[in-house]
Structure 1
């Protein structure tokens, strides 16, 4: 890693800590620079403002989700099992400690700032979840009825996140039993059952 890249990473790491500790409004760039062991001038060479730093951190959070490999439909495997495997992988990524920390930091600011929230959700609307291809492939193969695969994916993920992401996000623990995933998939498959 080049020296400038390391400084940029150190600034982002320090900003994440500062935003977590102080919130967006309470955070200040002088404190961030101090935590990163750089001068304020160096910080501003990389990020022109606290807002630019926050946007960079939001982008990192989105990139973590985008880094998940798309899942293709396999006609030789049980579709429900494919869905469960893909969903468990998704849950493991979004509930990882760093991911939860970033989500807490970013979402708390989005709740406070409606304009920033609108900008963020405009970006996320174009996000393609890793299991969208799996659901689309199953629709094309006639395993489930035809519908908008993006909408169907969002329905399934909203259900799964309710049980596996939000408890972790708000409580720091997850009391949900693993069998609940079977129920989520069963509900999804019942709704998208092919009409013969």
Structure 2
């Protein structure tokens, strides 16, 4: 039997939902909003389709008409949210590569990324994906790809350019980017992932990010010849 439109998925296995009419769009958005709230609150297994039906104001038949199954609804809703979590976080390669003070530019960049990625809604989504990674490995693959394309990729290009200019000495720019993220944003993300109520105020965020950037530059800043 040939797969129909309701079975279509992208390269990560995330359902492709056809563009609806205006009326259907409103219903679908109501379903997405209700489902996202329920999945974030309860996880996949405990999430109730009855609750999603009630909160979205549509019938259960309408939900299944749009998404086909609870599994496809979960993948479509969470998979659709992932790219939006990184919207606006793409670093400007040229701005970073041409910054007169690299340390200041890196602190500003990683501080902005940390503030965005530590938002409660994004941390909830992160914990949800981690909790369901065995059941839905495609979500983990998508998260990695989205974060690479929107953050790591542009930084790799910037570091490669700065290598050529003699500003940085990173034999492996891709690894250097991962290390920078790990010792700045990554430190704070780990705390919030496993301790959701941990207090990370501006002073603590600045302390962690600045220390991480200084550690990074201690290893990778270009040294004067001689």
Extract unaligned runs of 5+ from structure 2: 1-20
Q: Which residue of 1 aligns with 2:122?
A: 99
Displacement of 1:189 after TM fit? 1.1
The two structures have a TM-score, normalised by structure 1, of 0.83
Determine if contact 1:18/1:31 at 8 Å carries over to the other structure.
Answer: yes
Q: Aligned runs of 1:93-172 on 2, under 5 Å?
A: 93-110=116-133, 114=134, 116-117=136-137, 119-126=138-145, 127-130=148-151, 132=155, 133-169=157-193, 170-172=195-197
Does 1:82 pair with 2:105?
A: yes
Residues matched between the structures, number: 192
Bigger Cα Rg = 2
Does 1:7 pair with 2:13?
A: no
Does 1:174 pair with 2:197?
A: no
Cα deviation digits, residues 30-67 of structure 1 (max 9, x gap): 32122111111211222122222222213312332154
Q: Structure 1: how far apart are the matches of 2:33 and 2:25?
A: 12
SS of 1:144 mapped into structure 2: coil
Cα deviation digits, residues 130-160 of structure 1 (max 9, x gap): 3514333322322111433332211111222
Determine if contact 2:168/2:222 at 8 Å carries over to the other structure.
Answer: yes
Q: In the superposition, relative to structure 1, how do residues 156 and 76 fare at CA in structure 2: closer, same or farther (>3 Å)?
A: closer
Displacement of 1:19 after TM fit? 1.6
Q: Structure 2: how far apart are the matches of 1:125 and 1:21?
A: 23
